[in-house]
Structures are given as C-alpha cells and as structure tokens.
Structure 1
Amino acid sequence: MLYPELFKQLESVRWHMDKDIPWDRFDASLLSDEQAQTIKMNAITEWAALPATEMFLRDNRDDSDFSAFMSIWFFEEQKHSLVLMEYLKRFRPDLVPTEQELHEIRFEFEPAPALETLMLHFCGEIRLNHWYRRAAEWHTEPVIKQIYTTLSQDEARHGGAYLRYMKRAIARCGDEARAAFAKIGVLMASARRTAQALHPTNLHVNKTLFPRDTIQSRLPDPEWLEHWLDKQIAFDLQWENKVVERILHNLGLLMDRSFKNVQELNRYRKELTASLAAGALREASAA
C-alpha cells in the first residue's frame, strides 16, 4: 500500500494555518480590489475538492489504498479553500464566499475511467502548481503572496503522490494504463491550441447539466478564469510551455522513453492503441 507512506511523507511537511502564514505582515495598501476578487474566486474553486473526492471514492470502490489517500488529498485541498477564505475574513470580509456560493459547485460528476481520471488530476496538479506560482508573483500584498507560494508547493506534492499511483497502475495494468495516461497527456499538453484553459475545474463532467457542468460555469463570474490567466497573472506561452514540459517529462519517466513534444507522445499513444486492439483481436479469434 502507498497510503501509509504518503501519509507520513505529507504529514512531515504539512503547514499550520496559524503558525506558518505571516498574518501580521499584512499591508492593506498593497491589496487592490481586483486582486481581492480573484482570491474569492480561487477560494470557491478550491472548494471543488468536495465533489471531486466524491467522484474519486465512487469510481475507485475497488481500490481501498487510493481511496484512503483521498483522506489526505481532500483535507489539504479543502484547507486551501479555507486559508483563502480566512485571508478574506481577516482583511476583506465583504468578499468572503457565502455558503450558497460554495455549495453551488458541488454537483455530481459522471462516472469516468479511473485511469484517465487519475492522469487528468495529475496534470491538473502540475498546472495548478504553475498557476499559483505565477499568482504569487502577480500579487503585491506579502501575506497572500506567501499563501499562494504555500499552495503551489502543496499542489506539487499532490502531483508527486498521484505519480506514485500511476506507477503502480502501470505495474498492474501495463499497456492499458500507459494508453490511458498517454491519451489524457496528449489532451492536457495541448492546451495552447484550445480556446480555454484545460484543467479539471474547466472541463465538462455531466452532460445532463450542460452547459452548467463545469466548476467554472458555476462560479459567481463564469468568465473569471480566462480573465485571471490572460489579463491578470499573465499566464503566457512561456508559462504554458513549463506545464507541457513537466507533463512530457513525467510521462517519459513513467513510460521509460523520451517525449520531446506532444506529437511524439501522440504517436506513442497511437502505437499503444493499435497494439491493444491487435491483442484484443487475437483473444477474440482464439475464443
């Protein structure tokens, strides 16, 4: 089991909201209304760990190890929402999200293949790590800068934990897992070609609720994410390339081969798909 080891690892570096956040360094003159509004939106977005955890537990009922790890991930992700709300409570109480605004983003995600969902969230952690690093640079108020840096480090550790479960999946499932990871990897490493950001909070997850079946669509300002990325924290091509590089690098380690770009990963995906189809055909013929 990976859960006991991951628990010890993450417990050893867990930060304390009262002791590790320098609340006394707050400088009101360095926090603009525009910046404060983005903190509210991120606080609500982080609350999406609740429906995501419900999805993970439902779709991984046969995997008690991974489900137990969700207790760590859920706690730490909800803590992200909480520390952002604590910041607003202390310094901009008029912007603290209401319970209804938080509850609005709790809705059911449709069942999806567990391996693909695992890879999707691994990529999401990489992306969020980079978003928050950029947010820490954009903000000017020292306390919120430290909070975003702290959250970015958590997201990196979560990505590392997901990677451990991905390695385990390859050991158990072989090319089936490789194909699932490559498929989602191609999607998530191609964000520069899409009109919107590719992250679990901005993907459609329940067709019966379309178009209000993404986390972002249920925010008080559904257009906020793109504006935050493009106009505020300026998450430009240079930063996007860093995300793509990390995805390709980690997939290369998983697959024991190198991917210089998403095209090479896509060719590998096609090879895996063809191999799995040929194997299924042989099995069907033998039967």
Structure 2
Amino acid sequence: MLYPELFKSLEQVRWNMETDIPWDKFDAAKLSDEQAQTIRMNAITEWSALPATEMFLRDNHGDSDFCAFMSVWFFEEQKHSLVLMEYLRRFRPELVPTEAELDKVRFEFDPAPPLETLMMHFCGEIRLNHWYRCASDWHTEPVIKQIYKIISQDEARHGGAYLRYMKKALSEVGDSASAAFAKIGVLMASARRTEKPLHPTNLHVNQSLFPNDTVQSRLPDPEWLERWLDDQIKFDGVWEKKVVDRILHNMSLLFERTFDTVQELNRYRKEVVARLAVKPAEAV
C-alpha cells in the first residue's frame, strides 16, 4: 500500500496559506486587469478537481489504496482553487468566482478505463507544472508569482505520486498496464500536433453533454485557455519540449528503457500490443 508513505511525504512539504504566501508583498501597480482575469479562470478550472475526484473514486472502487490517496490529492487541488480565490478576494474582490460558476464545472464524467485515466492525469500534472511555472514568469505582481510557483511544485509532486501507482500497476497486471500507459503517453506527448492543448480539463468526458463536456467549455470564457497559453504567458515550443521531454523521461524510468522521441515510445507501444495479441493464443 502506497497511501501511508505518500501521505507522510506530502504532509512534510505542505504549505500554509497564511504563513507561506507573502500577502504583505502585494503590489497593486504590477497587477493588470488582463492578468487578474486569468487568475479568475484558473481558480474556476482548479475547482474541477471535485468532479475528477468523484470519477476516480467511482472508477477505482476496487482499489482502496488509490482511493485513499485521493483524499490527499483532492485536498491539495481544491486548495489551489482556494488560494487563487483568496488572492482575488483580497486584491480584486469583484473577480471572485461565484458559486454558480464553480458549480458549472462540476459535472459527471463518463466511466473510462482506470489505467488510461491514471496516465492521462499523470501527464496532466506534468503539463500543469510547466504551465504554472511559465505563468509565474509572465506575471509581474510578486504575490501571484509566488503562488503559481508554489502550486506548480504541488503538481510535480502529484505527478510523482501517480507514477508510483503506475509502477504498482505494472507489477500487478504487466503488459495490460504497459499498453495503456504507452498509448496515452504517445497521445499526450504529441500535443504540438493538435489544435487544442492536451490536458484533462480540455478533453471531452461526457457524451450526453457534447460539445459542452469539457471543463474549459463550461468556464465563463470557454476560449480563455488557448489565449492564455498562446498570447499571454506564451507557452511556446521551448516550453512544450520541456513537457514532452519530462513525459519521455518518466516513461523511460517506468519501462526501464530509454525513449528519446515519441516515435520510440510508439514503437514500444506496438511491441506491447503485439505481445498481448499473442498471449490468448498461447493460453489455448
């Protein structure tokens, strides 16, 4: 069971909203209206950890270890939304999200294969870590710069925790887990080939609500994410390469072989799929 160890390690580095955020360093002259609006959108987006947790608990009902870890993940992710809203409450109270706006991003996700979902969120944590680091560089107001830096570190630690559960799945179910992780890894490391940012909050998750079944589609400004990345924080090819390299590095650690490119990871995926196709015949 991983939960006790993960709980202890995350507890040791947990930050305090009152003492670790330098609220007294706020500089109103360095916060533009444009920047404040992006903080509002991120606060609402982070609230979607609530439906994501409900999905994880439902789809992993038979895994008490992972479901217990969700208590930590959910707490820390909701805290991200809370600290961004607290920043707005103190310094731009007219932009604090309404409860109705928060409720709108809480909707049911369709059931999905747990291993693929785990890998999707692992990659999502890596991507969000880099988005927030980039956002910290873009912002000019010192308090929000520090907030984004702090929550980016949380996202990195969450990715590390998910990686532990992925390793556990490999030891328990072998190639079935390898195929799931490699498939999603290829997809999430190929984001530069897609029109929209590949992140769990920007993927369709409820067929009956399509096309309004992504978290981003249910925000007050559904188009904000692309504008934030492309025009505001300028998450360019250099940053995207960092995301891809980090995914490939972790896949190399997970599968104990080196992947320098997405193509190499895809070749490995095909090897695993071929092995799985042979196994039923061998069992006959």
Matches of 1:232 and 1:151, distance apart in 2: 19
Residues 19-67 of structure 1: CA deviation (Å, up to 9, x unaligned): 0000000000000000000000000000000000000000000000000
What residue identity is the alignment partner of 2:114?
A
1:247 Cα deviation from its structure 2 partner: 0.3
SS in 1 for 2:65: helix
TM-score (norm 1): 0.98
Matches of 2:26 and 2:15, distance apart in 1: 19
- Within 5 Å, which residues of 2 pair with 1:50-61? 50-61=50-61
Tell me which residue corresponds to 1:218.
Answer: 218
1:280 Cα deviation from its structure 2 partner: 2.0
Tell me which residue corresponds to 2:69.
Answer: 69
- Within 5 Å, which residues of 2 pair with 1:190-201? 190-201=190-201
What residue identity is the alignment partner of 2:162?
Y
Tell me which residue corresponds to 2:142.
Answer: 142
SS in 1 for 2:211: coil
SS in 1 for 2:68: helix
- Within 5 Å, which residues of 2 pair with 1:111-190? 111-190=111-190
Question: Aligned pair 1:13/2:13, yes or no?
Answer: yes
Tell me which residue corresponds to 2:209.
Answer: 209
What residue identity is the alignment partner of 2:37?
Q
Matches of 1:280 and 1:92, distance apart in 2: 61
Tell me which residue corresponds to 2:258.
Answer: 258
Any runs of at least 4 consecutive aligned residues in structure 1 with deviations exceeding 6 A, and if so which? none
Residues 77-125 of structure 1: CA deviation (Å, up to 9, x unaligned): 0000000000000000000000000000000101111111000000000
What residue identity is the alignment partner of 1:226?
E
Give the CA RMSD over aligned residues.
0.5
Matches of 1:225 and 1:253, distance apart in 2: 31
Matches of 1:110 and 1:179, distance apart in 2: 21
Matches of 1:196 and 1:177, distance apart in 2: 27
Aligned identity (percent) is 76
What residue identity is the alignment partner of 1:137?
D
SS in 1 for 2:16: coil
Matches of 1:151 and 1:98, distance apart in 2: 22
SS in 2 for 1:107: coil
Tell me which residue corresponds to 1:247.
Answer: 247
1:183 Cα deviation from its structure 2 partner: 0.3
1:184 Cα deviation from its structure 2 partner: 0.2
SS in 1 for 2:242: helix
Matches of 1:240 and 1:172, distance apart in 2: 33
Residues 218-263 of structure 1: CA deviation (Å, up to 9, x unaligned): 0000000000000000000000000000000000111010011001
Matches of 2:253 and 2:175, distance apart in 1: 15
What residue identity is the alignment partner of 1:132?
Y
Paired residues in the alignment total 284
1:278 Cα deviation from its structure 2 partner: 1.3
Matches of 2:107 and 2:280, distance apart in 1: 36
What residue identity is the alignment partner of 1:261?
T
Matches of 2:264 and 2:204, distance apart in 1: 27
1:282 Cα deviation from its structure 2 partner: 2.9
Unaligned runs of 5+ in 1: none
What residue identity is the alignment partner of 1:9?
S
Matches of 1:215 and 1:277, distance apart in 2: 36
TM-score (norm 2): 0.99
Residues 116-135 of structure 1: CA deviation (Å, up to 9, x unaligned): 10000000000000000000
1:274 Cα deviation from its structure 2 partner: 1.1
Matches of 1:210 and 1:250, distance apart in 2: 33
SS in 2 for 1:18: coil
Tell me which residue corresponds to 2:84.
Answer: 84
What residue identity is the alignment partner of 1:82?
L
Matches of 1:79 and 1:121, distance apart in 2: 18
Tell me which residue corresponds to 2:43.
Answer: 43
Residues 161-186 of structure 1: CA deviation (Å, up to 9, x unaligned): 00100110101111111110000000
